[in-house]
């Protein structure tokens, strides 16, 4: 077979006669004239035709969409992984900046740690201990940061003395789409809604932090009494600032489709108590 193909290739420009013999009849029953080059032209043409058909299938058929969607998912996964690394680097930089700022404050103020004697009580106390006791009696609001400077020096009112009244209604008009699943890193619930729908505070509190993130868009943190913090993510815009005191039902911002982890207009709500994530459905009533 190899020798036959070799001869065809070496004599491709010559005209050959292909004869078919019948065992029962000695005379040739049929013969055909051809050039081997025509066979190679047919072979190459077939390859080109098959390549064109495959290209058209991948371009205009559901098979091509399947491959393209798979590639898009891989690119999206790579983008999410890169964004997580960028976010972790940003967090490290913020932590470093906070440590440097604290060191600068200590060096610039030069706080005296010498003990002073209280003659009226005959006890030895330090300024740090006295200040700590004063802070305990001043407010029951907890924060993960060293201190919160309230806007316009507003002092927290009596709204923080009472435990929030739960359960309450949803903070936004919409449809529940995804539940609390900490095993998969989803520490809250998703409520799908229309673009531009306002969301409100579920309890009295104060805004302790807000920021723009690549994964979640605008994010707002509200501190409540009893060690509870609510987090609102994927906001299109925010109507509050750090230090603002908010009441239950007060508008905090507008929900949107921001952040690369967003799959459509919705609000992501998380509830944390004493640093532990809670299932928001235990605190909410579906409306």
Instruction: Inform me whether the pLDDT recorded for 280 exceeds 60.
Output: yes
> Is there a single domain that holds both residue 176 and residue 279?
yes
Q: Is residue 124 part of a domain?
A: no
CATH of the domain at 228: 2.70.70.10
Q: What's the CA angle centered on 268, arms 179 and 230, to 5 degrees? A: 100
Contacts of 197 (CB under 8 A, 6+ apart): 172, 173, 174, 254, 255, 265
Kindly provide the residue ranges of all beta strands, DSSP E only, lying in 130-202, ordered along the sequence: 168-169, 175-178, 188-192, 198-200
pLDDT in tens, 122-154: 444 444 444 444 444 334 344 433 444 444 334
pLDDT in tens, 161-186: 778 888 999 999 999 999 999 999 89
Q: Is residue 85 part of a domain?
A: no
pLDDT value at residue 53: 84
Number of domains in the chain: 2
Q: Which is higher by pLDDT, 154 or 240?
A: 240
Rounded percentage of the chain residues whose pLDDT exceeds 70: 57
> Is there a single domain that holds both residue 173 and residue 65?
no
Instruction: Say how far residue 86 (Cα) sits from the centre of its chain.
Output: 12
**For the chain, what's the residue count?**
287
Whether pTM exceeds 0.85? no
* pLDDT bucket at 226, cuts 50 / 70 / 90: confident
Q: Is residue 224 part of a domain?
A: yes
Q: Is residue 120 part of a domain?
A: no
Q: Is residue 253 part of a domain?
A: yes
pLDDT in tens, 46-87: 888 888 888 777 677 666 665 666 667 777 788 888 877 787
| CB contact at 8 A, 269 and 234 | no
User: Max CA-CA distance within the chain?
Assistant: 139
Of 21, 19, 22, 44, the closest CA to residue 33 belongs to: 19
Q: Is residue 135 part of a domain?
A: no
Q: Is residue 138 part of a domain?
A: no
Helix H or strand E segment including 125: strand 123-125
pLDDT value at residue 169: 93
Q: Is residue 126 part of a domain?
A: no
Of 244, 264, 246, the closest CA to residue 256 belongs to: 264
Q: Provide the 10 A C-beta neighbour count for residue 125.
A: 13
* pLDDT bucket at 27, cuts 50 / 70 / 90: low
Q: How far apart are the first and last CA of the chain?
A: 79
Of 278, 277, 222, the closest CA to residue 247 belongs to: 222
Which residues constitute the domain of residue 5?
1-22+29-76
pLDDT value at residue 32: 62
| CB contact at 8 A, 23 and 32 | no
């Amino acid at each position: 077979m190899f020798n036959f193909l070799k001869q065809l290739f070496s004599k491709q420009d010559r005209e050959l006669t292909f004869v078919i013999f019948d065992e029962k009849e000695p005379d040739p029953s049929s013969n055909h004239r051809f050039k081997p080059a025509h066979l190679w032209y047919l072979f190459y043409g077939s390859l080109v035709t098959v390549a064109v058909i495959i290209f058209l299938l991948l371009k205009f058929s559901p098979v091509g969409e399947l491959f393209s969607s798979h590639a898009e998912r891989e690119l999206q996964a790579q983008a999410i992984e890169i964004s997580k690394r960028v976010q972790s680097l940003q967090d490290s930089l913020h932590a470093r900046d906070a440590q440097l700022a604290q060191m600068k404050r200590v060096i610039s103020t030069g706080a005296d740690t010498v003990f002073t004697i209280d003659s009226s009580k005959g006890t030895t106390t330090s300024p740090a201990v006295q200040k700590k006791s004063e802070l305990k009696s001043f407010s029951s609001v907890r924060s993960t940061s060293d201190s919160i400077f309230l806007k316009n020096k507003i002092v927290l009112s009596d709204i923080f003395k009472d435990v929030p009244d739960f359960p309450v209604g949803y903070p936004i008009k919409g449809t529940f789409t995804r539940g609390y699943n900490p095993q998969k890193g989803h520490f809250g619930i998703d409520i799908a809604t229309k673009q531009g729908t306002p969301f409100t505070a579920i309890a009295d509190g104060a805004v302790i932090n807000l920021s723009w993130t690549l994964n979640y868009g605008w994010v707002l943190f509200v501190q409540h009494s009893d060690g509870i913090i609510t987090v609102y993510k994927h906001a299109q815009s925010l109507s509050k600032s750090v230090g603002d005191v908010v009441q239950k039902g007060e508008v905090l911002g507008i929900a949107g489709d921001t952040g690369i982890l967003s799959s459509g207009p919705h609000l992501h709500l998380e509830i944390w108590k004493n640093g532990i994530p809670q299932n928001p459905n235990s605190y909410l009533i579906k409306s």
